[in-house]
Structure 1
Amino acid sequence: MDKASIIGLVLCIVMVIFGIITGDKGVAALVDFVDPTSAFITLGGAFASILIMAPSLKGYVNNLKSFSLVLKEIPSNEEDTIRSIIELSNVARKEGLLALEEAANGIDDEFLKKGVLLIVDGTDPELVRSILETELNCIETRHASTVSFWDSLGAMGPAWGMIGTLIGLINMLQGLDDPTTIGPSMAVALITTLYGSVLANWICIPIATKLKANNTKEIMIKEVMVEGLLSIQAGENPRVIEEKLKSFLSPSRRAAMSEQGGEDIG
């Protein structure tokens, strides 16, 4: 589980509750911020609008399920990927490219395994690059669709909150002949705006941003794999391959990896 995401989600709602209960009414004030009608207008309207935009009901449901991806920690990292590529390059250098077929059996990453098998089959390097980059583009397209879902929902939340506020204001103005209803009507009108802002800034925008970061990390790792595999196929020296792949890392991480010592790249 991604502890940072979980802690962040919890702290956000804690901050909101803290702000509510620090008023004169204390914990009792929480009741004033619960309004089913406002929630129905804001949340129902926002999710219904996104349903209209969805290509299919199945796609809509799958995008909702992507919330769980934010709670999962991505275990892979660039350093481990580079080490795996160097191990493969050592095998290819000592035993030939065909020996990589046996090594591929121990690879868990399907993208890397696919690239290794393409090399073993003697596929033209340009075709290998084309196949792998096409898969990368498809991955990015799928990820972009999911991110767009949360971005759109983040935009619809405040918009429907404003619609709810306008409805509340209209009702308030129609009841001006009874001054006692003005305060409660205004409060309900503002709650819809609050709900929309909370939906956008507590859930949607953070999720979209986290998914973008996860996409960037995954694509970068796969780009490392592509460059490494093509270098192996070209017969480059493992040490040269290592230095080439380290260029994907930040200077500090590159230095840390060098201090830890690389694989046998004889």
Structure 2
Amino acid sequence: MDFASFVGIITGLFLIVSAIFLGSSDMSIFVNIPGMMIVIGGTIAATLVTFQFKDTVSALRASVIIFTQDKQNPQAMIATMLQLTKVARREGLIALSRVEADSPFLKRALAMASDASDETYIRNTLQADIDSLKMRHYVVQDVFKKMGTYAPAFGMLGTLIGLIQMLSQLDDPETIGPSMAVALLTTFYGSLLATVFFSRLQVS
């Protein structure tokens, strides 16, 4: 994960928590287990209905990589490719098989080049790998895009449930304020998940 994204997420959470703390010393009023169950459980359930189970699991696994793996530097990749051309000119294509590479994609390309494979075969094989990778990334991004849509929707659903429960107790005016606060918490949870986390995951 690049440093700017890390700083952005931490800063956003810090400012939200700070605003909550400054407005009220009692942080427990922002914790509501049924509301969390509605938003988180509902979002996961709707996602499982929309996507295959393996796609959802793959997306959740990819989220760990997104938050732990550094982004590739295009300039560093260009420098690597220029270095490989120098090796090929000086020592021949066979020397490419001895080059250390972190990228599995680059390793495969170097192996085919060192074996003197046909240029069309190499191009088609690598293009197929690229297309397959793009499709996997598209599915992962689509999962988080849908989750970013579902979370606020279930937050609003939780708010409606809370309002119904509140209206059923109008004979006790003292419960209206606390009940309204609990009802609005689900909207808060849904918006927080969508804006701070899911929006970051769907563009990575």
Residues 107-126 of structure 1 mapped to structure 2, 5 A cutoff = 107-126=101-120
Q: 1:50 aligns with which of 47, 51, 55?
A: 47
Q: Which amino acid aligns with 2:75?
A: E
Equivalent in the alignment of 2:83: 87
* Number of equivalenced pairs: 204
Q: Structure 1's 75 and 174: CA in aligned 2 closer, same or farther, altered over 3 A?
A: closer
Distance 1:174-1:111 versus aligned 2 partners, 3 A rule = same
- Write the mapping of 1:94-173 to structure 2, written as runs, cut at 5 A: 94-101=90-97, 103-104=98-99, 106-173=100-167
Identity %: 36
Q: What CA deviation, in whole Å up to 9, does each residue of 1:66-111 have, x standing for no partner?
A: 222232242642233223322332233334334434x44x333221
Verify the 8 A CA contact 2:55 2:139 in the aligned structure 1.
no
Shift of 1:132: 0.6
Q: Give the direction of change, closer, same or farther, for the CA distance of 1:43–1:68 in structure 2 (3 Å limit).
A: same
* SS across alignment from 2:202: helix
The match for 2:63 is 67
Q: Given the superposition, is the C-alpha separation of residues 129 and 198 from structure 1 closer, same or farther in structure 2, using an over 3 Å criterion?
A: same
Deviation at 1:134, TM superposition (A): 0.7
* 1:235 corresponding residue in structure 2: none
**Structure 1 runs not aligned, ≥5 long:** 212-266
Q: Could you give the per-residue CA deviations for residues 19-48 of structure 1, whole angstroms, max 9, x where no partner exists?
A: 22222xx322x1221111111111211112
Distance 1:20 1:109, change over 3 A: closer
When normalised by structure 2's length, the TM-score is 0.88
Distance, in Å, in 2 between the alignment partners of 1:203 and 1:157 is 11
Residue 4 of structure 1: aligned partner: 4
TM-score scaled by length of structure 1: 0.69
Q: Indicate if the aligned counterparts of 1:42 and 1:192 stay in contact, CA closer than 8 A.
A: yes
Letter paired with 1:50:
T
Q: In structure 1, what residue type is equivalent to 2:112?
A: L
How far does residue 2 in structure 1 lie from its aligned partner after superposition? 4.0
Counterpart amino acid of residue 172 in structure 1: M
Describe the shift of the 1:193–1:129 C-alpha distance in structure 2 as closer, same or farther (beyond 3 A).
Answer: same
Residue type of the partner of 1:89? Answer: T
Q: 2:28 aligns with which of 25, 28, 31?
A: 31
Deviation per CA, 1:106-156, whole angstroms, max 9, x where unpaired?
Answer: 333221222222223333322221111110011111111111121111111
**In the alignment, does 2:13 pair up with 1:22?**
no
- 1:176, distance to aligned residue in structure 2 (A): 2.2
Mapped contact 1:88–1:100 kept (Cα < 8 A): yes
Distance across 2 between alignment mates of 1:90 and 1:7? 39
| CA–CA separation in structure 2 for the residues paired with 1:135 and 1:179 | 64
Seen in structure 2, the aligned counterparts of structure 1 residues 7 and 128 have a Cα distance that, compared at 3 Å, is same
What letter corresponds to residue 161 of structure 2 in structure 1?
A: I
Q: Is the 8 A contact 1:154 1:204 kept in 2?
A: yes
RMSD: 2.1
Label 1:126 to 1:178 Cα distance change in 2 as closer, same or farther (>3 A). Answer: same
Which has the larger Rg? Answer: 1
> What secondary structure sits across from 1:87 in the alignment?
helix
Structure 2 residue runs without a partner (length 5+): none
1:2 and 1:70 in contact (8 A); partners too: no
